[in-house]
């Protein structure tokens, strides 16, 4: 199947700093990628839809200035958590579809962010 690579897999940062997470589609082009957040024992919550060459679409309640998304190429989307605080600690995961939304979603390995 298609491969989506996410980096880093784990990061610990200090409060007030920013963290960038990368999501790459390795063997296909993805005009759209999705960013999710998952709390322990909870499901994936869609944060935003990343669109290549245009602004991301954010879900209700997600601060766009807090979670900056850039999708500058057909194979790379980045999520930057700005001025991170302990409550931003979570599992962040991206996904992309090789053949459209009605087909399988391929997920990155996820990034476990801990803000201290």
Partner 1 sequence: RKEVEQDPGPFNVPEGATVAFNCTYSNSASQSFFWYRQDCRKEPKLLMSVYSSGNEDGRFTAQLNRASQYISLLIRDSKLSDSATYLCVVNSPGKLIFGQGTELSVKP
Site for partner 1, rule CB under 8 A: 34, 36, 42-46, 49, 91, 93, 95, 101-102, 104-105, 107-110, 112
Residue with tokens 């999705």: 34
- Which tokens is 4 given? 């989506």
Q: How far is the CB of 17 from partner 1 (least distance, A)?
A: 24
CB nearer to partner 1: pick between 1 and 53: 1
3-state secondary structure of 86: helix
CB nearer to partner 1: pick between 6 and 78: 6
Q: How far is the CB of 8 from partner 1 (least distance, A)?
A: 14
Q: How far is the CB of 83 from partner 1 (least distance, A)?
A: 26
Q: Are 80 and 66 in contact (CB under 8 A)?
A: no
C-alpha to C-alpha distance for 27 and 98, rounded to whole angstroms: 9
C-alpha to C-alpha distance for 50 and 74, rounded to whole angstroms: 11
CB nearer to partner 1: pick between 34 and 67: 34
């Amino acid at each position: 199947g298609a491969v989506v690579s996410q980096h880093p897999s784990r990061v610990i940062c200090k409060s007030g700093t920013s963290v960038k997470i990368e999501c790459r589609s390795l063997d296909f082009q993805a005009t759209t990628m999705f960013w999710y957040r998952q709390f322990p024992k909870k499901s994936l919550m869609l944060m935003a839809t990343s669109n290549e060459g245009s602004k991301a679409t954010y879900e209700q309640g997600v601060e766009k200035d807090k979670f900056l998304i850039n999708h500058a190429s057909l194979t790379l989307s980045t999520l930057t958590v700005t001025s991170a605080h302990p409550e931003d600690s979570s599992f962040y995961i991206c996904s992309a579809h090789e053949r459209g939304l009605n087909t399988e979603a391929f997920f990155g390995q996820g990034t476990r962010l801990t803000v201290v």
